Structure 1
Amino acid sequence: MARSRRSALGAAGRGPTAVYSAGTAALVAALGTTRRLVVLSSAGLAVPAGAGPGTRLAARILRRVMRDTYADQARMEELLAGTELDWTAVRPTRLTDGPATGRVRTSIGGATPVGRQISRADLAAYVVAALDDPATFRTAVAVSS
């Protein structure tokens, strides 16, 4: 089994932040020979071309309300794209405290719409399942239940 390292970062509030990009830069520098990094980002960073009007409206509102957080998460993903790591940016939709359903919808590259929410339990199961999936390397993956 490969050695794993874990870290959790998150911004407090909706004001200007660099916690995602600066924290990820520090993690990348500390990884050494470790090649795999999975980060949680936000489904709101990209709206699939086939998204309906409700999704597009919600995305516009969220981008305005969460503009500083989303801008820093975008910087984080740009930083990852410039590395040689096998990274994955997991972009969950709205998180719920519901039970695991075992049904997770994904969109590798975030190009197709997924559902509106995902339980934290389903998200955790997906992240563990995706750790060794090369189809998720060097891309963003939108996930929902």
Structure 2
Amino acid sequence: MPGDQKSLSARMISKAIQTFGGDVIKDKPAEYEVYAASNLDWTLVRPPRLVDGAATGRLEHFAHRSTRSTPVVRADLAAFVADVIDQGSYVRQAPFFATAT
């Protein structure tokens, strides 16, 4: 996405996913462009790898910089999405999100 600052490892993982991810991944840039061109108040949350587990409350998120950790506890993701909606944060942005280690 425009303005992203990813670490070398995050860039390598992104490249591998783009190469082997098939049709689902190839449409992501077009999906972003549709939202960006709209008049909607949207937020595209970008978690890396979803895992099961109890909520930790350790939320790590950045507008354009990839997170240091890769797993996301589903319960933490749900809490973050609820906070984004409640607080109106990250409007017209696509933040990275992870469970902080």
**Normalization by structure 2: what TM-score?**
0.83
Give the corresponding residue for 2:92.
138
Structure 1 spans left out of the alignment, 5+ residues: 1-44
Name the Cα RMSD after superposition. 2.1
Tell me which amino acid in the other structure corresponds to 1:82: A
What is residue 49 of structure 1 aligned with on the other side? 5
Q: Give me the TM-score of the superposition, normalised by structure 1.
A: 0.60
Instruction: Go from structure 1 to structure 2 and tell me whether the alpha carbon gap of 1:67 and 1:127 turns closer, same or farther (over 3 Å shift).
Output: same
Q: One-letter code of the match for 2:39? A: E
Higher relative contact order (CA 8 A, sep 6+): 2
Aligned equivalent of 2:66, options 105, 110, 113: 113
More strand by share: 1
Please state how far the C-alpha of 1:80 moved relative to its aligned partner. 0.8
Name the larger-Rg structure.
Answer: 1
Q: What SS class does the counterpart of residue 97 from structure 2 fall into? A: strand
Identity of aligned residues (%): 31
Deviation at 1:67, TM superposition (A): 4.1
Give structure 2 stretches of 5+ with no counterpart. none
